[in-house]
Copies of this chain bind each other. A is one copy, B any other.
Amino acid sequence: MMDVARLAGVSHQTVSRVLNEHPNVAERTRLRVRAAIAELGYRPNRAARALVTGKSQVIGVVAQNSTLYGPAATLAALAQAASSSGFTVSVESVRTLERRPVTDAINHHLDQRVAGLVVIAPVAEASEALDGLPDDIPLVCVDGDPERETDLVTVDQELGGYAATKHLLDAGHPTVWHVSGPEDWFDSQGRIAGWRRALTEAGAEIPPLMAADWSAASGYRIGQVLARMTEVSAVFAANDHLALGILRALHERGRRVPDEISIVGFDDVPESEFYIPPLTTVRPDFDAVAAASLDLLLAQIETGRRHGGRRVIPPALVTRHSVSPPK
């Protein structure tokens, strides 16, 4: 920086001002400094800046190491969105969503003096890890406890579950079975609630809940049970991969979809359009989730205060060919 200053015939401070786009710099000075920067190929040292300001241009993200579609898609979208705002995303990957590893990951980020934190905390325990945090660090919680007070971005799971169930009910099915995700996930809870509400509103019987994890394998196992039960005509699966497993189990036992049984999924993974049959599903907008998170976070960074903002992104039902009226 000194070299640049010397070449431009100004002080280091003026160079700093040009770099930070400080208003009070004469136009020709600015030009001269920029020229010197270009000539020397100078690039500012962000570590030094981070040291003195106490903040970096880095957003710390805590996410579970998983290839689950939702979290992975959110993370990718977040990285993309951050890049275009001049931020870098630093990922601390946790093996499990227990409190301890999440806390460690957060502390590690704090050591690096990140400008803000995005925590993907889809279960209660991970969500609780956010409670002890000093409140001078910008923080957005994604997919976290819908009840929490701090800034939160989430897909409207309840609405999605409601829409899926309603769609099946509207097709004429007397009731809808639900294969849910793990019960400690807020996502699962929301989808279950939506399912229940639709059923209740319609005065339909509420069948027992079939809880699974998010995998196609568990969908398959539950599908084998469902396939034997002649009274089930409509199933709402908590995600597309579960739906795929169910589809396969049904196919194996010769139960035809949608003729005998209708199915709706959740997530709209790009492949679901090519399942057999093409899956009617609920599409959350992960790009919108990422954009909203960044938006909230940047606002906090700017003002230096928590706002308690809350963005709930409504998902959309996309209808394909896995639903038909009951026979």
Q: Which A residues fall within an 8 A CB radius of B?
A: 43-48, 50-51, 56, 58, 65-67, 69, 72-73, 76-77, 79-80, 82-83, 88-95, 105, 107-113, 215-217, 219-220, 241, 244-245, 247-248, 251, 270-271, 273-276, 278
Contacts and interface: CB of A to CB of B under 8 A. Distances in A.
A114 B104 CA distance: 21
A72 B67 contact: yes
A90 B92 CA distance: 9
A294 to B, nearest CB: 13
A22 B274 CA distance: 59
23 contacts: A43-B111, A44-B111, A45-B111, A46-B112, A47-B112, A56-B112, A65-B76, A66-B76, A67-B270, A72-B72, A79-B91, A80-B95, A82-B93, A83-B94, A88-B90, A90-B91, A91-B91, A217-B270, A219-B274, A244-B274, A245-B274, A247-B274, A248-B278
Contacts of A83: 92-94, 105
A69 to B, nearest CB: 8
Contacts of A110: 43
B276 A251 contact: yes
Nearest to A71: B76
Contact of A216 (B113, B248, B273): B273
Nearest to A101: B83
A205 to B, nearest CB: 29
A270 B72 CA distance: 14
Contacts of A45: 51, 111, 113
Contacts of A46: 111-113
Q: Which 4 A-B pairs have the closest CB atoms?
A: A79-B93, A47-B50, A216-B274, A65-B80
Contacts of A244: 271, 274-275
Given A45-B111, A50-B50, A245-B274, 7 more contacts: A46-B113, A58-B112, A72-B76, A83-B93, A89-B93, A216-B271, A241-B270
A220 B278 CA distance: 12
Given A76-B67, A91-B91, A276-B248, A113 B47 contact: yes
A104 to B, nearest CB: 9
A278 to B, nearest CB: 8
Contacts of A248: 274-276, 278
Contacts of A217: 270, 273-274
